[in-house]
Structure 1
Amino acid sequence: MIRVGELSIPTLDDLSFLNKKILVRLDINSPIEPKSGKLLDDSRIKAHIPTLRELIEKGNALVLLSHQGRPGDSDFVGLEEHSKVLSRYLGQEVEFVEDVMGPYALNRIRELRSGEVIMLDNVRLVSEELIEAPPDQHARSFLVNRLSKVVNSFVNDAFATAHRSQPSLVGFPVVIPSSAGRLMEREVSALAKIFNSETSPKVFVLGGGKVQDSIRIIENLSKRRLADRILTGGLLAEVFMIAKGMNLGKENLQILERHGILSLVPRAKKVLLAGAPVEVPVDFRVESQGNVIEESSTRISGIIKDVGPTTEEIYSSFIRDAGLTVLRGPMGVIEDERFRRGSSSLLRAALESKGYVIVGGGHMISVIGEAQLDPAKVHVSTGGGALLLFLAGESLPALEALSRGVKA
């Protein structure tokens, strides 16, 4: 069992998975090249391999269930290409079944033998999967009703979708023995460190352009007293600087106004008045007439594009002394190589520190590049929305369903 707050979530170690038929919910939702249908990134597929290999080695037959895109979107496609990529990584055939819960799928599941793996088609082809509802209601859905009768157990390994309350994520634990897979377990175990009072000091590095989301996170961290330091960068830092009464210059104010972010300043002030330990940059790298210059935060004339070298040093000193560092969102406009240094420096400080490191969000993950990471020290989260809601203190329905599900 792994504990997160008040939840106790069963893992593969808590149930008997031996020579059974197991339904495994994955999240292999991937970027798709519209014209060719090819997958542009298969990192989410690779992340599930340890769970699948462990279950196969125990003689189980696996039925894989996942989604891709949403109806009406260009990336809403079947999972045949995904099954081919998965076959390559697993080193054995993953048979694609062009059905989800019809007679063909049910018969193929009944015929499954030990060690075989099939992948059902995109679960969002089933209209029920688009409905958000409580687990008990989803347990009565056609999807859960039909598939639960032809498998023995359910394994949820889809952390990136854990914030959804849809049939394939919350319905099965109500009716059959269920557990988290190894990827889900790693995600939850890493995030549980945020609540561990023995892991301190806790430093959160928040940046990027999703300011409203980040303020939600800060509000929760402050309310629950989970953060010792909150280091800000990007547009988020600019909002808090205005809340502190600092002058960013006309051009930067116009950019914030254009993004519809200035309206968040009163909310940021309220967070500061509540005592949130928010730090803002003391200097920046700015762009002025096409040139990159460094300016103090008290005298800004150019357009802010990254934190400056003194801020890097101050922030890095906090990070090096941290027992836990969570990085979500870049410090600058990392799409431009000239403004990646702030994010890279803080990430390097985190990796060199003695504390545990959680990296979340595609932008910060891209800064890591090909660096070799120690899994005992660094966790790179696959969750986007799920990670956000977790940090913002909101419940994750898939975890709650596993915690309260039927026992073996």
Structure 2
Amino acid sequence: MIKVADLNIPVIEDFDINGRKVLLRIDINSPVDRKTGKLLDDSRIKAHAETIRELLDKQNSVVIISHQGRPGDDDFISLEEHSKILSKYVGREIEFVDDVIGPYAREKISKLGKGEAILLENVRIVSEELIEAPPQQQSKTFLVRKLAPLVDFYINDAFATAHRSQPSLVGFPLVKPSAAGRIMEKEVSALSKIFNKEDSPKIFVLGGSKVSDTLKIIEHLAKNRVADRILTGGLVAELFAVAKGINLGKPNMQVLENKGLLSLIPRARKILLSGAPIEIPVDFTVEKPSGELSNDPENNVSGIIKDIGNTTIEIYSSFIKEGKVITLRGPMGVIEDERFRIGTKSLLKASIESPGYVIIGGGHMISMLDKDVEINPNKIHVSTGGGALLLFLAGDKLPALEALHMSWVMQSGKS
């Protein structure tokens, strides 16, 4: 059992899941090459192999469901290729079934032997899966009513989709004993440290271009006094600098205006006035009109801001070394250009070398991890979250976790 906020999330050990028929919801939604229709990255598929292998080793019959893309999009494809890649990583055949709730799929599930696994077709070919509704409503969908009677347990290992309230994520826990899979368990365990008051000081490194989303996170952290320091970079830092009254120069103001961010200045100013522990860069790496790079103080910027400056890196790194829990989300600079990755990479390095527990989230930040960095799971957590991580940090409820808690309450009679 994992306790996160006011929720109790059951895990595999809370049940006798041996030699049973298990419905496993995973998230192997992967980037697709538009020209060939082939998968460009299989990291999510590889990550789910652990839970599947464990269930098969316990002689369970495993029925796997997942989604890929959305109808109408280029990445809305079959899961047939996914099944072959999954088989490679699990080390056993994962048979692909070209159906979800029809007679063919149900027959395959009924005849599935112990220690065998099948992957059903893209669950989003079932139109109900595109509708978001409360768990009680989703438990009555055709998807749930057709598949639930055929299995003994439901396991949700799709943390990256935990912010969705779709039938495959929230419907089954109301009608079957349910638990979190290993990825879900690791994510929830790691992220619960963020709001555990004993794990302090807490340092947040927040940057990137999704300014409105990041402001929502900061507002929640400030309101609940979660953060000891919030180190800002990217457009988020520029917005706070302007809100503080710092003149970043006309070109940078134009950038903020072009991105529709000037309207967020009052919101940023309100956060500053609330006493939130916001740290703003004292210098920036800028690109002048001539193309020359310069390290300028925040009140004398001579070009377009591209990264945090050298002094800021030193100051931020010293704060990071003090942290017991360090959470990083969003890059410090324009990392699409290799010249402006120094700030992001430096803070990642400082975090990994610090004595604190490190949580790294967001695709851009994760992509900046050096390939040779050894990820010690007891020290570093790389989140698969995306939208789920964002909402978790912002204090929003995650429907998939709520549903697992509801299932536990129903099974145990506790609240």
TM range (shorter): over 0.9
2:360 aligned partner: 359
Q: CA deviation at 1:195?
A: 1.3
Residues 193-249 of structure 1: per-residue CA shift (max 9 Å, x gap): 011111110000000000000000000000010000000000000000010000000
**Alignment-derived partner of residue 205 in structure 2:** 205
* 1:262 corresponding residue in structure 2: 262
The match for 1:348 is 349
CA distance in 1, matches of 2:92, 2:182: 20
**Quick one: which amino acid aligns to residue 301 of structure 1?**
S
CA-to-aligned-CA distance 1:100-144 (integer Å, 9 cap, x gap): 000000000000001111000011100100111110111110000
Deviations 1:273-326 (CA, angstroms, capped at 9, x unpaired) = 111111100001100111111101110011000001100000000001100000
Equivalent residue number for residue 319 of structure 2: 318
Q: Partners in 2 of 1:315 and 1:6 — Cα distance?
A: 33
Is 358-367 or 47-56 further displaced after alignment?
47-56
CA distance in 2, matches of 1:94, 1:255: 50
Match of 1:407 among 388, 405, 411: 411
Corresponding position of 1:55: 55
Match in the other structure for 2:80 = 80
SS at 1:346's partner residue?
helix
Which residue does the alignment assign to 1:307?
308
Alpha-carbon offset, residue 262 of structure 1? 1.0
Is 2:229–2:277's contact at 8 Å kept on the other side of the alignment? yes
Q: TM-score, normalised by structure 1?
A: 0.99
> Could you tell me which amino acid in structure 2 is paired with residue 230 of structure 1?
I
Structure 1 residue aligned with 2:175: 175
Indicate if the aligned counterparts of 2:27 and 2:67 stay in contact, CA closer than 8 A.
yes
Q: Determine the C-alpha separation between the residues in 1 that align with 2:297 and 2:139.
A: 58
Aligned-partner residue type, residue 151 of structure 1: V
Distance 2:156 2:98 in 1: 22
Q: CA deviation at 1:250?
A: 0.5
Q: Within 5 A, what are the aligned runs for 1:20-31?
A: 20-31=20-31
CA distance in 2 between partners of 1:79 and 1:309 (Å) = 47
Superposed displacement of residue 24, structure 1: 0.3
Q: Which moved more, 1:45-54 or 1:221-230?
A: 45-54
Structure 2 counterpart of 1:383, which letter?
G
Does residue 292 in structure 1 map to residue 296 in structure 2? Answer: no
* Equivalent-residue separation in structure 1 for 2:226 and 2:124 (angstroms): 37
Partners of 1:214 and 1:117 lie apart in 2 by 40
Is it true that 1:114 corresponds to 2:118 in the alignment? Answer: no
User: In structure 2, what is the Cα distance between the partners aligned to 1:73 and 1:117?
Assistant: 28
- Aligned-residue offset at 1:16: 1.2
Residue equivalent to 1:333: 334
Encode CA deviations 1:241-269: one digit per residue, 9 max, x unaligned: 01000000000011111111111101001
Alignment of 1:221-300 (within 5 A): 221-288=221-288, 289-300=290-301
Alpha-carbon distance, 1:35 to partner: 2.1
Count of aligned pairs between the two proteins = 408
Task: Quote the Cα distance in structure 2 between the aligned partners of 1:347 and 1:246.
Answer: 27
Which residue does the alignment assign to 2:4? 4
**Pairing 1:220–2:246 present:** no
Indicate the residue corresponding to 1:66 in structure 2: 66
Do the aligned partners of 2:46 and 2:86 also contact (CA within 8 Å) in 1? yes
Q: What is the SS of the residue equivalent to 1:401?
A: helix
Provide the secondary structure at the position in 1 that maps to 2:115: coil
Q: Distance in 2 between matches of 1:12 and 1:79?
A: 26
- Conservation of the 8 A alpha-carbon contact between 2:124 and 2:130: yes
Q: Tell me which amino acid in the other structure corresponds to 1:51.
A: T
What residue is the counterpart of 1:127 in the other structure? 127
**Partner of 1:388 in structure 2?**
390
Residue pair 2:50, 2:90 contacting (<8 A) in 1 also: no
| TM value normalised by structure 2 | 0.97
CA-to-aligned-CA distance 1:23-56 (integer Å, 9 cap, x gap): 0000000000122221111111111111111111
1:407 positional shift: 2.1
Q: C-alpha separation between the residues in 2 aligned to 1:251 and 1:383? A: 34
Matches of 1:45 and 1:257 in 2, distance apart?
40
Partner Cα separation in structure 2 for residue 34 and residue 307 of structure 1: 35
Name the CA distance, whole Å, in 2 between partners of 1:407 and 1:99.
31
1:64-119 deviation per Cα after TM superposition (whole angstroms, max 9, x unaligned): 00000001100001100111110111111111000000000000000000111100
CA contact (8 A) 2:62 2:115 kept: yes
Q: Give the distance between the partners of 1:239 and 1:174, measured in 2 at CA.
A: 44
2:375 is the counterpart of 1:373: yes
Separation (CA, whole Å) in 2 of partners of 1:34 and 1:95: 25
| Structure 2: gaps (5+ residues) | none
Counterpart secondary structure, 1:404: helix
The aligned residue for residue 185 of structure 1 is: 185
CA distance in 2, matches of 1:369, 1:44: 19
Other structure's SS at 1:293 match: strand
User: Take 2:66 and 2:212, find their aligned partners in 1: how far apart are those partners?
Assistant: 30
Secondary structure of the equivalent of 2:287?
strand
Query: How far is the alpha carbon of 1:369 from its aligned partner?
Result: 3.2
Aligned counterpart, 2:15: 15
Instruction: State the distance in 2 between where 1:166 and 1:369 align.
Output: 36
Question: In the alignment, residue 401 of structure 2 is paired with which amino acid?
Answer: L
Q: SS of the counterpart of 1:30?
A: coil
What is the identity, as a one-letter code, of the residue corresponding to 1:407? Q
Structure-to-structure mapping, 1:139-158, within 5 angstroms? 139-158=139-158
What code does the residue aligned with 2:325 have? L
